[in-house]
Amino acid sequence: MSNRKIPITRLEKFFGSEDFGLEQNMGREWLEGDMHFTVVLYKVESLEDGIQFLPPVEFKGYVTIDTPENQNYSNANLSQLEPGNLKVGVYQDALDELNIDIDYGDYLGYYETEDRVRYYSVVNDGRVVSDNKHTYGGYKPFYRSIIAAPVNDGEFRGI
């Protein structure tokens, strides 16, 4: 057995800023350049005498739509197939560059076909506290997962 000391290399807890930027740029290139999911944000602003909608803004995000659920009402034999929730993953940098933020109660529009837009209301704005999925090591947030529920046709129709 040797008494030779093995040098201990100092391990960095987090990426350096260059590595962090590279990882984000590669992810955004794939998402925004290859995937082409476009979502429209309809920002809702509360005023004393009602609400106001800011001009709609398009942004790129990773879109998934949950499987529809068959909802039964009361004890009656009434049921309705409800559309699934919209889930959008988006880089925080992309929102910052567009100078937008997504909050609970805002509306999102997503083209299901070339001529049909379905509208959703944000029920989880994806603000990151410290989970590892949306941050590097619970340290630096970079990604948000937003969940929005479908709205009835009469609730919101875009601007």
Q: What is the CATH number of the domain that holds 24?
A: 2.40.10
pTM of the predicted model as reported, rounded to 2 decimal places = 0.76
User: Is 27 inside any structural domain?
Assistant: yes
User: Is 25 inside any structural domain?
Assistant: yes
Q: What is the pLDDT of residue 112?
A: 86
Instruction: For residue 112, give every residue at least 6 positions away whose Cβ sits within 8 Å of its Cβ, in sequence order, or none.
Output: 118
Which pair of structure tokens corresponds to residue 44?
């809702």
Count of domains forming the chain:
1
Domain extent for 118: 17-68+82-150
User: Is 93 inside any structural domain?
Assistant: yes
Q: What is the pLDDT of residue 155?
A: 85
User: Is 74 inside any structural domain?
Assistant: no
Which value, to the nearest 10 degrees, does the dihedral of the CA atoms of residues 29, 30, 36, 39 take? -80
- The 3-state DSSP composition of the chain as helix, strand, coil percent (nearest 5) reads 15, 40, 45
- Beta strands at 107-111 and 38-42: parallel, antiparallel or unpaired: antiparallel
User: Is 77 inside any structural domain?
Assistant: no
**Per-residue model confidence as pLDDT tens for the chain (159 residues):** 556 555 544 435 555 677 777 877 888 888 888 888 999 999 999 889 888 889 999 999 999 999 887 766 666 666 566 788 999 999 888 999 999 999 999 999 999 888 889 999 999 998 866 666 656 665 667 788 999 999 987 888 787
